[in-house]
Amino acid sequence: MKYYIYVSDSKLEMLYSQIPQNLKSQIATEIKIDLKVVSTTFSDKERQSESKYSKLNLLGDYLEKHVGVSDVDSLTIGSYFKGTILMRWGPLENPYSFGEKPTIAFFGGEGKNRSVALAGSMHHLIGSDTGNSPTQAASATYYILSVIMKELRPEVGDIFLGTPVFGQDKDNEWALNGVDVALANLKGPVQKVEFIAKTLLKGNAYGNHSVILGTPIYVALVE
């Protein structure tokens, strides 16, 4: 059993809908999921949750077996990566929000070979009370990096607002440096978590330090 603390409903539905039906049936049989539960629309929250987590299990199995999910400590990271590591997490302030609630949930930790950052909409935290706000698309790379960079240096943050300063390679270096700084400033308790995430940005920050930024499909506590 998994104790989920973050599930991106939008990514789950988008990716699940693209799994070929024959593979859905095959995987469901292998991992003992009733596809009727997954495909039925329920009105009560308990059955809705059962359907969502069944979809999540099926999607995770599909990605690992048919798409490819790199381990976070692999030398090469593909489109998706996973890990079980110690992380701190919490809201990342949005400098453009003018006193509004934070819109980005930010997770950070250290793998064996690199620093790991995950960022996505606060809306997808389990138990979140952010509601149907217009910031649900905050897990877009553009928005996440503009927020991180604005936290680091306001003038550098503008490179993600349509005003290129250095060119893509240098922009990515600044972005990774920004992620590294955000990780260093994370507070709160350290918890062991597991996750699967979509890769957004990877490379080296200052000092040839390897950093990866992803947006999570799910994050769950590990006992």
Two structure tokens written together for 68: 């490819």
Convert the pLDDT of each residue in 10-31 to its tens digit.
Answer: 899 999 999 998 998 898 888 8
pLDDT at 136: 40
Nearest to 30, CA basis, from 52, 63, 62, 70: 62
pLDDT at 52: 84
Nearest to 47, CA basis, from 56, 38, 35: 38
pLDDT at 172: 75
Query: CA-based Rg of the chain, rounded to a whole angstrom?
Result: 18
179 contacts 201 by C-beta, under 8 angstroms: yes
> Which of the pair, 198 or 170, is modelled with greater confidence?
198
d(CA 15, CA 63): 9
How crowded is residue 142: how many other Cβ atoms within 10 Å of its Cβ?
A: 12
Q: Is the pLDDT of residue 222 over 80?
A: yes
8 contacts 218 by C-beta, under 8 angstroms: yes
* Residues pairing with 214 in the sheet: 118, 199
pLDDT tier at 196, thresholds 50, 70, 90: very high
The DSSP annotation for the chain comes to: --EEEEE-HHHHHHHHTTS-HHHHHHHHHHTT--HHHHHS--SSHHHHHHHHHHHHHHHHHHIIIII--EETTSSS--SEEEEEEEEEEEEE--TTSTTPPP-EEEEEEE-SSSEEEEEEEGGGBTT----S-TTTTTTSHHHHHHHHHHHH-HHHHGGGTT--SS-HHHHHHHHHHHHHHHHHT--S--EEEEEEEEEEEEEEEGGGEEEEEEEEEEEEE--
CA 4 and chain centroid, separation? 13
pLDDT at 127: 67
pLDDT at 75: 80
Work out whether strand 70-71 and strand 104-110 pair parallel, antiparallel, or are unpaired. unpaired
